[in-house]
């Protein structure tokens, strides 16, 4: 593998130096100088005819991204608009090594499942914790439910790969995605609005306004509404509803107050309303004889109820219902309804010429439910309604400064978060089985509750040993306390399994835990020239442990241990031709222990045992390369990610072999785009854009089931826009997924329990036209 990595690095360097016209690039990767912004600046873009520059604040200070010794991709809000990106799922296609989708369908179409470099979490239920941190205006989003909502009024998005935690917020094992929204402007009254219509009766409306309220106060208001019809029909559903629609509305208000030259206070509030149907997908294949419980229903129960369901007498659960992604015969739950809101207060206080204090106080809440008919048939084989009531309060203090004539730049801080999370699941599984020769009930109600506290002290400093050699050292001390309860009640034949409780071996399992973990980080960077830097880094991360949330039996009751990841990285960042070309590359290795993976097993009776288990140890090696080339009105961007993940050791009871591939870890990911701007003599301009992405084969579950694996695929998008003279009004047309590729974003292997495979898909080809204006 080291030989492969060496060859790939050599090849990428050769491409970057010998053929810049083919350059692979980061999305908006090049940046401005360190002096371009103050200590609390947000990512910003400044462009001229031949260069694009961005300032990022990933290390709590504004600096050139080319001088940051970590793998990071930054995208401005203007770039998101030109790419037609409206949510995080679309965004991930343009970032090497990143996968974002809605995950398990029983969590709904807006539950966030995020993987970076093969590290993430494939189950949304508490007490599972995300493997990648999602931040909005520096506030950590603890609940993955309802997190994949629309992107509106975005200043920039930063993607940080590898463990994070020595600089801010919650510790994250796989990386962080930081979303920054547009801040109010104290000086200018301005506004913007856009309307887009397109296929599937799409109607997208966005609007924003900046209002100065005095010399020191301004407010910014923004709103977004996205609507689109269902992608599938439900042929037997009396409501007439289908699946795969979009129905989201969001508003945000931000108040900026500067009472003095050294103080800045920002108050923010946001609310998102999601009223959608279940996601696009369902039952894709029937497995004859896969489940003895389904066979019993087919032989003994369904013939007795077909008449009342309006079905032919010989109907049974078989391949006739496996029609996804086409129209379905589902009649069960069909909803993705969430209300997500939050408030925050950020205070920036300069304490001196070289020191500042930042306070981030936030509260967020998510309520709602997701309902899905997984079998896509008139029978209740597997139907769920998942209800969520999640809240979080967080307080963070950051002290930032520099010492020794600015040779030592440092950050230290304290973090606290309290979570109260409740998930209530109503399930219908093999409904009617009590009426067969296997007289047992699996219709159940699960009530899970989690109360948890996160405490941390962190710090990181960068010392300029010489003008060219920079040493960064950081560390974080974490204390995670969790109190989890779960009551799983079976409804027809009352019995229950609980956490805390006694497992199948007779051992009492306490569902309280305290994890104290120290995670260090370090890097050494050397400036080869003013436009080239090489660095080596090490970082350590962990993800808290927990207990299996689906207690179908006492066999499921067990605690899984915290994950741990040690990441090593060697990188090169370069700029060429007065920053018209940037070329960055890194190689890395992640040593992964106590992996937490969810899989559905079956006992000797065919009953499901959905368990979260520590799979063992794995190693992920990879190469990433990003480039940007800007020549006059032409801008070429692209990226490459090569991942080689393998298990080194598996714990007893794991259901897959050592040769299995890690889920959500495609070996090769590519993205590329070309954008050309034509400036017209009239003062207007035309923008032409084409982009494409490629992903190699990706397994969606730990067992590497081929039926739900996504084969290699490519997506192509295009956009053309005309801006009127004066740069105030723009007309645009676009098409996404030009070749109408059907590709799986998530899947479940439930063949041994429900005789079927369940899968959900990305959106098909869509077109639209848009008009936008600003003043």
Give 297-331 pLDDT, tens digit per residue: 999 999 999 999 999 999 999 999 999 999 999 99
Pairing, β 175-181 against β 133-136: parallel
pLDDT band at 58 (very low <50, low <70, confident <90, very high): low
Residue 553: predicted pLDDT: 81
Q: How far apart are CA 235 and CA 257, in angstroms?
A: 55
CB 161 within 8 A of CB 117: yes
410 located within any domain: no
- DSSP-derived 3-state class of residue 595: coil
Q: Does the pLDDT value for residue 342 go beyond 70? A: yes
Q: Does the pLDDT value for residue 662 go beyond 80? A: yes
Pairing, β 508-509 against β 217-228: unpaired
Q: Does the pLDDT value for residue 18 go beyond 50? A: no
Q: Give me 224's structure tokens.
A: 């977004």
Residue 44: predicted pLDDT: 43
pLDDT tens-digit readout, 700-745: 988 899 999 999 999 999 999 999 999 999 999 999 999 999 999 9
Mean pLDDT throughout 161-168? Answer: 90
664 located within any domain: yes
Report DSSP state, residue 20.
Answer: G
Taking alpha carbons only, the member of 394, 396, 400, 395 closest to residue 357 is 400
User: 187: buried, middle or exposed (CB in 10 Å: 19+, 13-18, 0-12)?
Assistant: exposed
31 located within any domain: yes
Residue 604: predicted pLDDT: 56
Mean pLDDT throughout 233-246? Answer: 95
Q: Does the pLDDT value for residue 56 go beyond 50? A: yes
**pTM of this prediction?**
0.90
Minimum mean pLDDT among 94-103, 128-137, 463-472, 561-570: which range?
A: 94-103
- DSSP-derived 3-state class of residue 330: coil
Q: What is the CATH number of the domain that holds 223?
A: 2.40.170.20
CB 730 within 8 A of CB 723: yes
Minimum mean pLDDT among 35-39, 276-280, 617-621, 687-691: which range?
A: 35-39
Report DSSP state, residue 106.
Answer: G
Report DSSP state, residue 296.
Answer: H
336 located within any domain: no
406 located within any domain: no
CA angle 484, 148, 235 (to 5 degrees): 100
Q: Give me 766's structure tokens.
A: 């869509």
Residue 12: predicted pLDDT: 39
Its sign, for the CA torsion 81, 87, 93, 97, is positive
Q: How far apart are CA 544 and CA 515, in angstroms?
A: 7
Q: Give me 429's structure tokens.
A: 């599984």
Taking alpha carbons only, the member of 566, 542, 410 closest to residue 473 is 410
409 located within any domain: no
pLDDT tens-digit readout, 489-527: 999 999 999 999 998 888 898 999 999 999 999 999 999
CB 233 within 8 A of CB 242: yes
Q: Does the pLDDT value for residue 353 go beyond 50? A: yes
Residue 505: predicted pLDDT: 83
CA distances, 132 to each of 98, 116, 448 (Å): 10, 7, 23
Q: How far apart are CA 704 and CA 290, in angstroms?
A: 17
Q: Give me 284's structure tokens.
A: 């894709």
Q: What is the dihedral of CA 369, 375, 377, 381, to 10 degrees?
A: -90
pLDDT band at 601 (very low <50, low <70, confident <90, very high): low
Q: How far apart are CA 760 and CA 745, in angstroms?
A: 6
Q: Provide the H-helix boundaries in 334-457.
A: none
Minimum mean pLDDT among 117-121, 412-416, 460-464: which range?
A: 117-121
Residue 6: predicted pLDDT: 42
Rounded to 5 degrees, φ, ψ at 319 are -70, -15
Bridge partner list, 537: 523, 569
pLDDT band at 83 (very low <50, low <70, confident <90, very high): confident
Residue 50: predicted pLDDT: 42
Mean pLDDT throughout 360-385? Answer: 96
Taking alpha carbons only, the member of 593, 672, 588, 461 closest to residue 70 is 588
The percent of residues in the chain predicted with pLDDT above 90, rounded, is: 73
pLDDT band at 42 (very low <50, low <70, confident <90, very high): very low
Bridge partner list, 342: 270, 364
CA distances, 614 to each of 265, 390, 515, 746 (Å): 44, 26, 16, 21
Q: How far apart are CA 230 and CA 488, in angstroms?
A: 34
Mean pLDDT throughout 211-222? Answer: 95
- Domain range for 190 is 2-331+346-401+415-774
341 located within any domain: no
Minimum mean pLDDT among 426-435, 501-510, 661-670, 673-682: which range?
A: 501-510
Q: Which single residue is written with the structure tokens 């599984």?
A: 429
The percent of residues in the chain predicted with pLDDT above 70, rounded, is: 91
Q: What is the dihedral of CA 387, 454, 619, 647, to 10 degrees?
A: -50
pLDDT band at 394 (very low <50, low <70, confident <90, very high): very high
pLDDT band at 31 (very low <50, low <70, confident <90, very high): very low
Taking alpha carbons only, the member of 444, 381, 490 closest to residue 751 is 381
Q: How far apart are CA 686 and CA 679, in angstroms?
A: 7
Rounded to 5 degrees, φ, ψ at 410 are -140, 160
Mean pLDDT throughout 4-12? Answer: 40
User: 233: buried, middle or exposed (CB in 10 Å: 19+, 13-18, 0-12)?
Assistant: middle
Q: How far apart are CA 675 and CA 77, in angstroms?
A: 16
170 located within any domain: yes
CB 704 within 8 A of CB 712: no
Q: How far apart are CA 331 and CA 371, in angstroms?
A: 11
Q: Give me 280's structure tokens.
A: 């696009």
Q: 145: which residues sit within 8 A by CB, 6+ positions away? A: 107, 108, 110, 111, 124, 338, 366, 368, 370, 388, 390
Domain total in the chain: 1
CA atoms within 13 A on the CB side of 107: 23
Residue 59: predicted pLDDT: 65
Q: How far apart are CA 583 and CA 466, in angstroms?
A: 25
Bridge partner list, 614: 596
* 459 C-beta neighbours (distance < 10 Å), count: 17
Q: How far apart are CA 151 and CA 201, in angstroms?
A: 20
- Measured in residues, the chain has a length of 775
CB 251 within 8 A of CB 242: no
pLDDT band at 533 (very low <50, low <70, confident <90, very high): very high
Q: Containing H/E element for 17?
A: helix 2-18
Q: How far apart are CA 124 and CA 549, in angstroms?
A: 10
- DSSP-derived 3-state class of residue 406: coil
Q: Does the pLDDT value for residue 598 go beyond 90? A: no
Helix, strand, coil shares of the chain, percent, nearest 5, are: 10, 55, 35
Residue 333: predicted pLDDT: 96
Mean pLDDT throughout 661-680? Answer: 95
Residue 32: predicted pLDDT: 28
CB 703 within 8 A of CB 654: no
Q: Give me 414's structure tokens.
A: 């304290």
Bridge partner list, 525: 470, 535
Q: Which single residue is written with the structure tokens 């699946």?
A: 243
Average pLDDT of the chain, as a whole number = 89
Mean pLDDT throughout 652-668? Answer: 89
Residue 293: predicted pLDDT: 94
CB 75 within 8 A of CB 31: no
Q: Provide the H-helix boundaries in 329-430.
A: none
């Amino acid at each position: 593998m080291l030989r492969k990595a060496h060859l790939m690095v050599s090849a990428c360097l050769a491409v970057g130096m010998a053929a810049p016209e083919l350059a692979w690039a980061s999305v908006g990767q090049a940046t401005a100088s360190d002096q371009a912004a103050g200590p609390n600046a947000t990512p910003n873009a400044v462009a001229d005819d031949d260069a694009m520059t961005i300032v990022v604040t990933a290390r709590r200070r504004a600096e050139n991204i080319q001088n940051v010794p970590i793998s990071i991709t930054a995208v401005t809000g203007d770039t998101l608009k030109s790419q037609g990106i409206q949510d995080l799922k679309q965004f991930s296609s343009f970032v090497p090594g990143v996968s974002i989708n809605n995950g398990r369908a029983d969590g709904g179409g807006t539950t966030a499942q995020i993987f970076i470099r093969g590290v993430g979490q494939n189950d949304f239920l508490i007490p599972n914790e995300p493997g990648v941190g999602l931040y909005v205006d520096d506030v950590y989003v603890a609940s993955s439910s309802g997190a994949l909502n629309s992107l509106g009024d975005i200043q920039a998005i930063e993607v940080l790969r590898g463990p994070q935690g020595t600089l801010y917020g919650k510790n994250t094992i796989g990386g962080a995605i930081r979303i920054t929204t547009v801040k109010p402007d104290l000086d200018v009254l301005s506004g913007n609005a856009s309307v887009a219509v397109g296929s599937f009766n799409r109607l997208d409306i966005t609007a924003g306004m900046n209002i100065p309220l005095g010399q020191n106060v301004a407010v910014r208001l923004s709103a977004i509404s996205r609507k689109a019809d269902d992608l599938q029909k439900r042929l037997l559903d009396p409501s007439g509803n289908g699946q795969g629609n979009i129905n989201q509305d969001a508003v945000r208000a931000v108040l900026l107050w500067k009472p003095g030259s050294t103080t800045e206070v920002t108050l923010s509030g946001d609310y998102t309303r999601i009223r959608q149907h279940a996601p696009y997908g369902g039952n894709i294949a029937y497995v004859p004889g896969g489940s003895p419980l389904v066979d019993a229903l087919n032989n003994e129960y369904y013939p007795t109820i077909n008449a009342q369901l309006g079905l032919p007498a010989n109907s049974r659960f078989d391949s006739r219902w496996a029609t996804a992604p086409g129209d379905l015969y589902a009649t069960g739950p069909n909803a993705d309804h969430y209300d997500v809101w939050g408030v925050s207060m950020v205070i920036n206080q300069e304490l001196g010429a070289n020191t500042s204090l930042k306070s981030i106080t936030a509260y967020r809440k998510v309520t709602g439910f997701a309902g899905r008919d997984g079998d896509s048939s008139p029978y209740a084989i597997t139907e769920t309604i998942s209800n969520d009531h999640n809240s979080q309060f967080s307080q963070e203090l950051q002290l930032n400064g520099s010492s020794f004539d600015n040779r030592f730049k440092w950050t230290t801080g304290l973090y606290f978060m309290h979570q109260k999370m409740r998930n209530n699941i109503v399930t219908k599984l093999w409904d009617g089985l009590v009426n067969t020769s296997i007289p047992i009930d699996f219709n159940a109600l699960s009530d899970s509750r989690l109360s948890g506290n996160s405490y941390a002290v962190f710090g990181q400093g960068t010392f300029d040993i010489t003008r060219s050699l920079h040493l960064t050292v950081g560390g974080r001390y974490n204390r995670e306390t969790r109190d989890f309860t779960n009551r799983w009640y079976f409804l027809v034949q009352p019995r229950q399994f609980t956490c805390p409780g006694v497992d199948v071996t007779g051992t009492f399992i306490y569902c309280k835990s305290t994890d104290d973990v120290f995670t260090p980080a370090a890097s050494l960077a050397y400036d080869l020239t003013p436009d080239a830097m090489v660095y080596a880094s090490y970082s350590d991360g962990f993800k808290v442990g927990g207990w299996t949330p689906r207690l179908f039996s006492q066999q499921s009751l067990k605690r899984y241990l915290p994950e741990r990841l040690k990441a090593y990285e060697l990188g090169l960042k370069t700029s060429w031709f007065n920053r018209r070309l940037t070329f960055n590359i890194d190689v890395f290795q992640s040593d992964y222990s106590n992996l937490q993976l969810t899989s559905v097993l079956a006992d000797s009776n065919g009953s499901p045992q959905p368990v979260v288990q520590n799979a063992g140890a794995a190693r992920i090696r990879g190469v990433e390369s990003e480039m940007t080339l800007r020549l006059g009105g032409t801008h070429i961007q692209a990226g490459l990610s090569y991942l080689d993940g393998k298990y080194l050791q598996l714990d007893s009871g794991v259901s897959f072999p050592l040769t299995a591939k890690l889920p959500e870890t495609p070996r090769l990911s590519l993205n590329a785009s070309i954008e050309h701007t034509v400036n017209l003599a009239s003062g207007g301009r035309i923008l032409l854009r084409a982009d494409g992405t490629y992903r190699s084969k990706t397994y969606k579950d730990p067992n590497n089931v081929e039926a739900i694996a996504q084969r290699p695929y490519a997506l192509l998008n295009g956009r053309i826009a005309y801006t009127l003279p004066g740069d105030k009004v723009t007309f645009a047309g676009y098409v996404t997924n030009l070749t109408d590729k059907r590709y799986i974003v998530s899947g479940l292997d439930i063949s041994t329990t429900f005789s079927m495979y369940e899968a959900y898909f990305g959106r098909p080809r869509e077109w639209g036209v848009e008009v936008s204006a600003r003043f």
